[in-house]
Chains A and B, each alone.
Chain A
Amino acid sequence: MRRSMLFIPGNNPSMIQNAPILGADSIILDLEDAVSIDEKDSARFLVRNALLELDFNGCEKVVRINSINTELGYEDIDVIAKVKPDALLVPKATEDAIKEIDELISTIEGEEGFKLGSIKLIPLIETAFGVEDVFNIVKSSKRVAAVLLGAEDLTADMEIKRTKEGEEIFYARSRIVSACKALKVDAIDTPFTDINDFEGLKRDCQRAKLIGMTGKAAVNPRQIDTINEVFSPSMEDIEWAKRVIAAYDEAQREGKGVFSLDGKMVDAPVLARAKNVLEKAKAIGLIKE
């Protein structure tokens, strides 16, 4: 479950050790943009030690590495993969980069005695080329568990203005969602960068959810509750899903293939949606069974 993925600067001990109690489903320890070039070595050792020694309270542990277009990315992989994070977030991901990182991690997993494939990859799609190639990027490694849209870099690459309304990223969001759904991985939406506009954040989450995004990155702990709320099934959704399943069970007993609920036909896609809602609710702990 990746409703909220919180970015934490990789060279800040205070923020790293407080991160696990903030309510995010995933913590992204950032070795890339949040760390100045002179402190890359320092952040890498700090994040490695944090992964080894801190209790992350059940949060998914993700590390954003530097690009493998520079030596920094290789050094990150060499140090971080050895302490088995749950996933690496790969900036400006391409098919070639994902394939190469997959191979590097496989070697480390073999050397360290980790289960092959246990370290996942999350490509960060933040270029026009990445958007157009996202299906192939996801398909290029079985390690890919989710895709994160990075709209700030993407709009810079597209030479267009980034707005709060986000109309300019509708195509990128849709294309990513479609590829992710087709290949059964999570689609994580770009962060909302105005950390004081909670109404704007909520609308942005709703827009993303409406077209199929399954979670959203956060750049401030105060954004987590809103993101979690929007990307969790509502109590109304859960009640509806329970009624669909109950009606289905009854129809089965009566030997009916298709049945109706509240005057609307319930068929396989509706049933699948209801099951999906209940599975999510269960994973979050909103329902017990």
Chain B
Amino acid sequence: MKITKPAKAGTMESNDIYIMVYPNEKGNEIQLDSIVLKQFGKQIEKVIMDTLKELEVENALVVAKDRGALDYTIRARVETAIKRAMK
């Protein structure tokens, strides 16, 4: 599935993650900024990539600004942004 327009979800508050998605001809890509990048950067990227796969999205550039979100929040914000980008 392809997203057709930019969209965003989440907030910059503590324990949340701000997700922006853009249509991307090069496939799925992630640009992550996180307060815990060193410790959990790879894990956060994996959660984002897995969520894109579950949603069967193939063309999203995900720009993520993480404020210490747990996995359930990351998944929810990515799903919201993707579904908004498909509307």
Contacts and interface: CB of A to CB of B under 8 A. Distances in A.
Contacts of B77: 42, 45-46
A55 B15 CA distance: 17
B14 interface: yes
Interface residues of B, number: 18
A169 to B, nearest CB: 35
11 contacts: A13-B15, A13-B16, A13-B70, A14-B14, A42-B10, A42-B76, A45-B80, A46-B73, A46-B77, A49-B75, A53-B71
A48 B15 contact: no
A127 B83 CA distance: 35
B73 A13 contact: yes
A140 B80 CA distance: 35
Given A41-B83, A41-B84, A53-B71, A17 B76 contact: no
Contacts of A54: 72
Interface of B: 9-10, 13-16, 69-73, 75-77, 79-80, 83-84
B14 A48 contact: no
Nearest to B17: A13
B80 A17 contact: no
Given A13-B15, A14-B13, A14-B15, A45 B69 contact: no
A101 interface: no
Nearest to A14: B15
Contacts of A53: 70-72
Interface residues of A, number: 14
Contacts, number: 42
Interface of A: 12-14, 17, 41-42, 45-46, 48-50, 52-54
Nearest to A18: B15
A45 B79 contact: yes
Nearest to B19: A42
A45 B10 CA distance: 11
A90 B15 CA distance: 29
Q: 7 closest A-B pairs (Cβ-Cβ)?
A: A14-B15, A49-B72, A45-B76, A53-B72, A46-B76, A13-B73, A42-B80
A71 to B, nearest CB: 14
Contacts of A13: 13, 15-16, 69-70, 72-73
B62 to A, nearest CB: 16
Given A13-B73, A54-B72, 14 more contacts: A13-B70, A14-B14, A41-B80, A41-B84, A42-B76, A42-B80, A45-B75, A45-B77, A45-B79, A46-B76, A49-B72, A49-B73, A53-B71, A53-B72
